[in-house]
């Protein structure tokens, strides 16, 4: 694995996982990138990600041990990315437009956080991650950063 700057990270499960961790930073998540799944023992996440609900794992005595949810495709799906603009507590004066590439910015504590990308969802989540103070994403060594 290698760490690359947010602005060089391509769309895909690695950056989607970084968004999920940043969005639910107070909840411990175990992310299976290969299958696009999140496991957590917290019911709060299941409630807020109802559409991504898959199921649960129970212990022998029937108690729920952990929940399983789909890792949302924030970096490629505008509906998922838009949740970060509209409903993730970062929505300070967002601005989104496209000239040659897509541009997104948020104001956070008086500072303008901005990002460019080839698609709107990717520009939005890069800005979101920066707004959350995340500067690098872990990706497999063979990841092409273009």
Should residue 86 be labelled a site residue for another protein when binding is judged by CB under 8 A? Answer: yes
Site pattern 104..123 for another protein (x: CB under 8 A): ---x------------x---
Residues 33, 14: Cα–Cα separation, whole Å: 7
Place of tokens 């409903």: 87
- Using the rule CB under 8 A, which residue among 27, 70, 76, 98 binds another protein? 98
Considering just the CA atoms, what is the radius of gyration of the chain in Å? 16
- Using the rule CB under 8 A, which residue among 53, 82, 116, 136 binds another protein? 82
Minimum CB distance to another protein smaller for 68 or for 120: 120
Should residue 85 be labelled a site residue for another protein when binding is judged by CB under 8 A? Answer: yes
Should residue 72 be labelled a site residue for another protein when binding is judged by CB under 8 A? Answer: no
Report yes or no: 8 and 15 within 8 Å, Cβ to Cβ: no
Stretch that binds another protein, among 40-48, 51-59, 63-71, 85-93 (CB under 8 A): 85-93
- Using the rule CB under 8 A, which residue among 89, 99, 141, 142 binds another protein? 99
Report yes or no: 71 and 36 within 8 Å, Cβ to Cβ: yes
Stretch that binds another protein, among 1-9, 21-29, 35-43, 78-86 (CB under 8 A): 78-86
Residues 94, 30: Cα–Cα separation, whole Å: 30
Q: What's the start-to-end Cα distance of the chain, in Å?
A: 17
Should residue 97 be labelled a site residue for another protein when binding is judged by CB under 8 A? Answer: yes
Report yes or no: 41 and 66 within 8 Å, Cβ to Cβ: yes
């Amino acid at each position: 694995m290698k760490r690359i700057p947010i602005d060089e990270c391509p769309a895909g499960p690695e950056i989607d996982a970084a968004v999920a961790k940043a969005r639910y930073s107070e909840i411990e998540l175990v992310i299976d990138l290969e299958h696009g799944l999140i496991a957590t023992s917290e019911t709060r996440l299941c409630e807020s990600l109802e559409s991504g609900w898959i199921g649960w794992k129970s212990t022998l005595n029937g108690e729920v041990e952990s929940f399983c949810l789909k890792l949302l495709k924030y970096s490629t799906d505008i509906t998922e990315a838009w949740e970060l603009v509209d409903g993730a507590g970062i929505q300070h004066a967002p601005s989104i437009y496209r000239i040659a590439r897509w541009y997104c910015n948020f104001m956070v504590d008086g500072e303008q956080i901005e990002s460019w990308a080839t698609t709107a969802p990717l520009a939005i989540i890069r800005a979101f991650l920066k707004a959350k103070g995340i500067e690098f994403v872990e990706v497999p060594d063979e990841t092409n950063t273009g």
